[in-house]
Amino acid sequence: MDVNTTTTIPSVDTKSQSYTQHQLHSENHEHSHAHLPSKTILIAIAAATTVTVLLTIFFVLFLLRRQKSSNKNGACKDKNPRGLHDTSSRLIASTKLSISSSPDVKGGCLQGGNLSRSPAAPKFKGVQVFTYKEIEVATNGFSEAHVIGNGGFGLMYRGVLSDGTLAAIKLLRREGKQGERAFRVEVDLLSRLHSPYLVELLGYCADQNHRLLIFEYLPHGTLHQHLHSPKNQSQSLDWWARMRIALDCARALEFMHEHHAVSPVIHRDFKSSNVLLDQNFRAKVSDFGLAKMGSEKMNGQVSTRVLGTTGYLAPE
């Protein structure tokens, strides 16, 4: 007897299958959407960082430009784009110095022109500007009784200014362009170099053809006088005083060579007669008429001309 075996295939519930597929599709869709916010956040962070960096750069550039403009406004008005740093070099290198003209104060700079003194005394970087008449009164008509020194530069007078200040007044001899150069260099340098080891410039006079420099008065004269003059033997310097003077001179030279506000300054006439002593026998270096800036060039060439006093020149 044949037995017919019938295999029954269970029917698949279409509704259940459809629901399962829909659920899987929803899970995949939700999974893909779960990654979307993180990508968006990364893009937003990157964009914000880029914008922040750019704004910072623009802000720094703005500050630098503003500072540069401020420095230009505070600089000298004589069309000198490099500022006062090169003032002395231009004065020295200039071959168009007018001996009949006088340095004047315009915009804080030493320029050619006739000096007119107003009731409020003009100043050049804190240095007083005097008329010849005022200096004549201060020295009692340049009396010989007021002469305290005589050198190649001219005569040194002791005088009393209108405010009662005791001063040493140097009357410069006019010897062509070299004399004018020495005057301008000394005013320019000492109006900017301030140190307890350098003599202080109180003012100057450039009235017509007269050139005078007014310094603080140092009562004990020059070091040379104490070392070589018989009349000062009663005030002979002991070894401790000499050591202090030597140290003061060394500090003065160090200041001139290392000062960062201007180029290094080379004195070129450093000797005992250009070292002055104050009331405490502390030394101050003076006479910068032959000084030069370390970076000074003339017509594009470094000046190698030997200047100074024989016997005091540096060996090199």
Catalytic residue numbers?
269
Sorted by sequence, the CB contacts under 8 Å of residue 245 that are 6+ apart come out as 223, 237, 275, 277, 281, 282, 283
Q: Is residue 304 within 8 Å of residue 262, measured between CB atoms?
A: no
Q: Which residue type, as a one-letter code, is found at position 25? A: H
**Which of 128, 279, 92, 145 has the alpha carbon at shortest distance from 215?**
128
- Measured CA to CA, the distance from residue 250 to residue 246 in angstroms comes to 6
Backbone angles phi, psi at 57, to 5 degrees: -60, -45
C-alpha distance from residue 94 to each of 2, 75, 184, 298 (Å): 136, 21, 11, 8
Q: Give burial (CB, 10 Å; 0-12/13-18/19+) of 232.
A: middle
Backbone angles phi, psi at 32, to 5 degrees: -65, -35
Give the distance from CA 1 to its chain's centroid.
Answer: 127
Q: Is residue 281 within 8 Å of residue 223, measured between CB atoms?
A: no
**Greatest Cα pair distance in the chain:** 166
Dihedral in degrees, nearest 10, Cα atoms 9, 14, 18, 21: 0
- Measured CA to CA, the distance from residue 193 to residue 180 in angstroms comes to 20
